[in-house]
Chains A and B, each alone.
Chain A
């Protein structure tokens, strides 16, 4: 099957609007939009930026991902609406369950829920999240989310997440629930993928050999069918060919945040790259 192409970006107040962007993606046959999120950026920050160097300003300017994706949902019919990634560890679980379910319902079941543990320790601390136990936290959150989405009276009793039976609708349209895309390539992330994930969202710096290795690892554990979406993939033809031959389902190309006219021109260029490989 042909490899699909989506777009990963930061939607901010300085760039193209998300409703305009969504429509432009659908018109150019991209299948998905994955949005990054940071709730805020603490000025005093010890955590190094994984990209190296100073933190680009778009990190402190992202629109709320569910607001932005809802806007994109309203102007599209088929586009998948993804978080890439949502910082679930610093989010209120019950509110997030409702945001995802609401968007899934309004969009007719088009949500791809990408999650990760994040890197900005000061940011998560401002939400009351202990950076040291955030991996254990997200595992419980994912188990609890599925309970909220799929059962009439959900309850969960863990070390980090604990609630007695609750009623919460709407339920998502997708059954049993919107696919959970697990970000990250660490051993902990892969264990999380195995236990709680529906799809893998490795970063674009991952090599074809690494992807094949993970595929093998998953196959040995009976999850060889987990689809891969490479996040922020390279534009180089040989690398994209490698991803395709490794059975990658989708590559998301990174769209730099820019005003509308510039974004549309850039999307034309990226669509041409996708067309060569799609």
Chain B
């Protein structure tokens, strides 16, 4: 089982280049960065965990800028979005950002996507929260065409373009793996139709994990799993991941200044050593 880190890279924490290098030195295989383009001051949407919104949500770097900084100072680290809010993004621009980063990093991008939860945030980008799942599905088909075809065309209800040329193409063939986030049946249907890897948010206990695996068997049997936002050092849970053939366990790393971040990573390394 591989181990990665998922975090919010902000102006109050470790720089992404420093973080990327530190991860590679410690044998973590990947860095997944979260994104929120902004947070509307007036907000009805609740955080999925029902918590007060932590400050990191207001302060994330642009994920492709942050991952490019990490890419330049590393050679093996996989560079992931965890997750990119594609439904509120322009699909042509996002295709180019991913492809540019994949080109510069020699094919190290893992493109994690999700439908998001902050309805006011997506509305500010012109995305109707009610149809965002359908929009994301169309975007995933369209982005693969942009990445893989010399003249890409897509005509859907939400995404429309006719014969466009766009390079660079990604290095990874046929394209960077699409990681689908979310624990709902809708997310799993999306994974089965458009995704390469499932990246569900970790449930606290072994029973919760077992129900996730049952969901996968029902909707997307055999698709690789990369556990996301694992916040516990629950050894029983890690054993269960390893036994179930989970490809990667991504720990959530709290956003802290550099020295504190490096200390925390050292702790994590000692902990995961036995599972490698």
Contacts and interface: CB of A to CB of B under 8 A. Distances in A.
Contacts of A40: 92, 96, 146, 164-166
Interface stretch (B99-107, B175-183, B193-201, B259-267): B99-107
Contact of B59 (A91, A92, A169): A169
A92 B90 contact: yes
A42 B65 contact: no
A67 B104 contact: yes
B89 interface: yes
Contacts of A102: 61-62, 65-66
B124 A98 contact: no
A32 interface: no
Interface string A18-49: 11000000000000000000011111100000
B72 interface: yes
A262 B73 CA distance: 25
Interface stretch (B37-45, B202-210, B232-240): B37-45
A47 to B, nearest CB: 14
Contacts of B27: none
B157 to A, nearest CB: 14
A40 B93 CA distance: 8
B164 A43 contact: yes
A128 B97 CA distance: 19
A18 B165 CA distance: 22
A211 interface: no
Interface string A160-178: 0001111111110000000
B17 A63 contact: no
B17 A95 contact: no
Given A13-B103, A75-B72, A64 B64 contact: yes
B64 A43 contact: no
A15 to B, nearest CB: 11
Nearest to B53: A167
A39 B166 contact: yes
B151 interface: yes
Contacts of B101: 64, 67
A148 B125 CA distance: 15
A12 B93 CA distance: 15
Interface string A100-143: 00110110000000000000000000111000000000000000
Nearest to A99: B62
Interface residues of A, number: 47
Contact of A167 (B41, B93, B97): B41
Contact of B62 (A13, A18, A66, A163): A66
B166 A43 contact: no
A67 B97 contact: yes
A70 interface: yes
Contact of A68 (B41, B62, B100): B100
11 contacts: A17-B104, A39-B166, A64-B96, A64-B101, A70-B68, A91-B93, A95-B93, A103-B62, A105-B61, A163-B40, A165-B40
Interface of A: 12-13, 17-19, 39-44, 60-61, 63-64, 66-68, 70-71, 73-75, 91-92, 94-95, 98-99, 102-103, 105-106, 126-128, 148, 153, 163-171
Interface of B: 10-11, 15-17, 37-42, 58-62, 64-66, 68-69, 71-73, 89-90, 92-93, 96-97, 100-101, 103-104, 124-126, 146, 151, 161-169
Given A41-B164, A102-B65, A106-B69, 9 more contacts: A40-B146, A43-B163, A67-B100, A71-B71, A98-B61, A102-B62, A106-B16, A165-B42, A167-B39
- Give the 5 A-B CB pairs with smallest separation, nearest first: A13-B168, A170-B11, A165-B41, A43-B163, A40-B166
